[in-house]
Structure 1
Amino acid sequence: MDRPHTPHTRNPPGEDHDQHLIERIFEGILWNSRYFVLLGVVFGALSAIVLFIAGSSEIVTVLTEFLRLSENHLSHEEILIDVIGAIDFYLIGLVLLIFSFGIYELFISELDVARKKGDFGSILEVSSLDDLKNKIIKVIIMVLIVSFFQRILSMEFTTSMDMLAMAASIGIICIGVYFLGRH
């Protein structure tokens, strides 16, 4: 005996004889529209590559300036600021890679190549959008901390209040990182 198809009852998998042709076509189009996610995957990965190249270029520039024996030799602070800027590029590149891997795994398919080789790390394993969001948020917080550190290095401290504000800022960041690590 056939049961009537209503929006609240579902047929078992493979049994769609009650489903209208238009409904099947619409659901097929809707389901396949998830492949538009590939645009985010591809361009996220390409953006990550660009950022890794930019960070590496920054390091090469610092290295060549450091090794050049000229009057315009880089100071230790300038070297640190530039290297931290490169780290910023790398971290943002990591955010984009994690995003690309995560949305690919959530919407398209698991990364079989990584799983077969056993190279699949927990950083890239994403089981839900919340999991992806949490991983990305942690890296973004690290980017903000590195950017803050870079800004601190280039600041001029003229009063004791400047030093106190810097110390308080660092203390607040340490507390935040502590609580982030507990989550």
Structure 2
Amino acid sequence: MESEKPTPAPRRSSNAEHYFEHFLFGARWILAPVYLGLVGAMLILLVKFGSELWHLLSHAFSLSESEIIIGVLTLVDVALIMNLLIIIIFSGYENFVSKMDDLHSHHDRPEWMGHISFTDLKIKVIGSIVAISGIELLKSFMNVENLSDREMAWMVGIHLTFVVSGVLYAVMDRLQGKGH
């Protein structure tokens, strides 16, 4: 029968180590302005969305069907990017900076908030990139006469790279047992 090893007493850190660790822990707040900057990027995208919507509305009767479809796909593209930014801002802030404890009981709080891990975030980001890339590819196919075969091949190749990357991320996540 083996004897149990006594658990060592917790090591007492020096004052310098204590302050250094608190400094490092506080450094996470350096990310806060980054998330604020992403909110600024959302405002820029909102202006882009409004501009494109105004263009579609003001030229609705003079645009061709394919031009309208491309315009609508642009609106969907901007919306997807903004949704992705919201997920990155909220989950990044909660995972790396601070919990949004005051908002846990807010009636408008999305259910996914506080439940997206870093791995989940990576999967959502690559999924969004695939969707955005697919929309851009579809927009290009709507205007295929202005693109060379080489340009189209590169676009399809890059899109397939995103798709394969997304599948590999999901497979790795599943193999690690985190996909359940």
TM over 0.5: yes
Tell me how far apart the structure 2 counterparts of residues 77 and 123 of structure 1 sit (CA, whole Å).
Answer: 36
C-alpha deviation, 1:100, in angstroms: 0.8
What is the aligned counterpart of 2:24 among 27, 30, 39?
Answer: 30
C-alpha deviation, 1:10, in angstroms: 7.0
Q: How does 1:1-183 map to 2 (within 5 A)?
A: 11=10, 18-66=12-60, 73-156=62-145
| Gapped regions of structure 1 (runs ≥ 5) | 1-8, 68-72
| Gapped regions of structure 2 (runs ≥ 5) | 1-7
8 Å CA contact 1:88–1:143 kept in 2: the answer is yes
Larger radius of gyration between Structure 1 and Structure 2: 1
The structure-2 alpha-carbon separation of the partners of 1:139 and 1:124, relative to structure 1 and needing over 3 Å to count, comes to farther
The structure-2 alpha-carbon separation of the partners of 1:40 and 1:79, relative to structure 1 and needing over 3 Å to count, comes to same
Q: What letter matches 1:53 in structure 2? A: V
Tell me how far apart the structure 1 counterparts of residues 102 and 49 of structure 2 sit (CA, whole Å).
Answer: 27
Q: What letter matches 1:49 in structure 2? A: L
State TM-score, norm by structure 2.
Answer: 0.70
Does the residue aligned with 1:42 lie in a helix, a strand or coil?
Answer: helix
Q: What letter matches 1:116 in structure 2? A: S
RMSD of aligned alpha carbons: 3.1
Q: What letter matches 1:93 in structure 2? A: M
Count of equivalent residues: 151
Q: What letter matches 1:90 in structure 2? A: A
State TM-score, norm by structure 1.
Answer: 0.69
% identical equivalent positions: 25
